[in-house]
Chain A
Amino acid sequence: MRKKLLALSATAAVSALMLAGCAAPAADEGSQGLVFDVPEVPMLQEIGEPEGNVDIVAWSGFVEPAWSDKFTEDTGCVVNRRVAGTSDEMVQLMRTGDYDLLSASGDASLRLIVGGDVAPINTDLLVNFTDDIVPGMLGQLYDTINGDAYGVPIGRGANVLQYNSEVVTETPTSWDVVWEADSPYAGQVIAYDAPIYIADAAVYLMTHSPELGITNPYALDDTQLAAAVDLLKQQNDIVAEYWADPVAQITSFVGGTTVVGTSWEILRKLSADDRMKSTLPVEGSTGWSDAWMISSESDSPNCSYLWMDYTSAADVNGAISMNFGMAPANAAFCELNEEAAAHCAEFNALDEEYFNKVWFWTTPIEQCIDGRTDVECTSFQDWTNAWATVKG
Chain B
Amino acid sequence: MTVNAPVRAPASAPAPVKAVARPVSTLLHRHRWLRLTGLLALPLTWLVGLYIVSLALLLVTAFWFIDPFTSKVIPGFTWQNFVLVFSEPAYITTSLRTLGVALAVTALSALFAIPLGIFMAKLASPWMRAVLAVAITLPLWAGYLVKILAMRITFTEEGFFNWALAPFGISGPGFSLFTVVLTLTYLWFPYMALPVYTAIRQIPVNLFDASADLGARGFTTIRTVVLPLLLPALIAGSVFTFSLSLGDYIAARFVGGANAQMIGSIIASNINLNPPVAAAFSVIPIAFVVIYLLVTRRTGALERM
Identify the closest chain A residue to B152 (Cβ): A251
Residues of B within 8 A of A380 (CB): 68, 71, 273
Query: Is there a chain A Cβ closer than 8 Å to B286's Cβ?
Result: no
Beyond A385-B274, A391-B90, A391-B258, 12 additional contacts (C-beta under 8 Å) are A88-B272, A95-B72, A195-B273, A245-B254, A257-B156, A365-B69, A380-B71, A381-B68, A384-B270, A384-B277, A388-B94, A388-B261
Whether B158 contacts A255 by the Cβ 8 Å rule is: yes
Distance in angstroms from A225 CB to nearest chain B CB is: 14
Q: How far, in angstroms, from A111 to B274 measured CA to CA in the complex?
A: 13
**Cβ distance A230 to chain B, nearest Cβ, rounded Å:** 13
Q: How many residues of chain A are within 8 Å of chain B by beta carbon?
A: 42
Query: For the complex, is B302 an interface residue (Cβ under 8 Å from A)?
Result: no
Chain B positions within 8 Å of A, measured between CB atoms, are 66, 68-72, 84, 88-91, 93-94, 149, 152-153, 156-159, 174-175, 253-254, 257-259, 261, 265-266, 269-274, 277
The complex places the Cα of A366 from the Cα of B67 at a distance, in Å, of: 11
Query: How close is A28's CB to chain B, nearest CB, in angstroms?
Result: 20
Task: Tell me what chain A mostly uses at the interface: helix, strand, loop, or mixed.
Answer: helix
Contact A381 B272 (CB under 8 A): no
Residue contact A241 to B88, C-beta cutoff 8 Å: no
Tell me the complex Cα distance, A382–B84, Å.
Answer: 11
Residues of chain B with a CB closer than 8 A to A384's CB: 269-270, 273-274, 277
Closest to B276 in A: A381
Contacts of B174 in A (CB 8 A): 240, 257
B contacts with A: majority SS: loop
**A390 proximity list for chain B (CB < 8 A):** 90
Question: How long is the Cα–Cα vector from A251 to B175 in the complex, in angstroms?
Answer: 12
> Is the Cβ of A366 less than 8 Å from the Cβ of B68?
yes
Name A residues whose Cβ lies closer than 8 Å to a Cβ of B: 86, 88-89, 91-92, 95, 110-111, 114-115, 193-195, 236, 239-242, 244-245, 247-248, 251-252, 255-257, 363, 365-366, 379-382, 384-385, 387-392
Contacts of B157 in A (CB 8 A): 255-257
CB-nearest residue of chain A relative to B66?
Answer: A381
Q: Which residues of A contact B261 (CB under 8 A)?
A: 388, 391-392
Q: When the two chains form their complex, are residues A385 and B175 in contact, meaning their CB atoms are under 8 A apart?
A: no
A224 to B94, CA, bound (A): 25
Q: Which of A111, A381, A389 has the most CB of B within 10 A?
A: A381
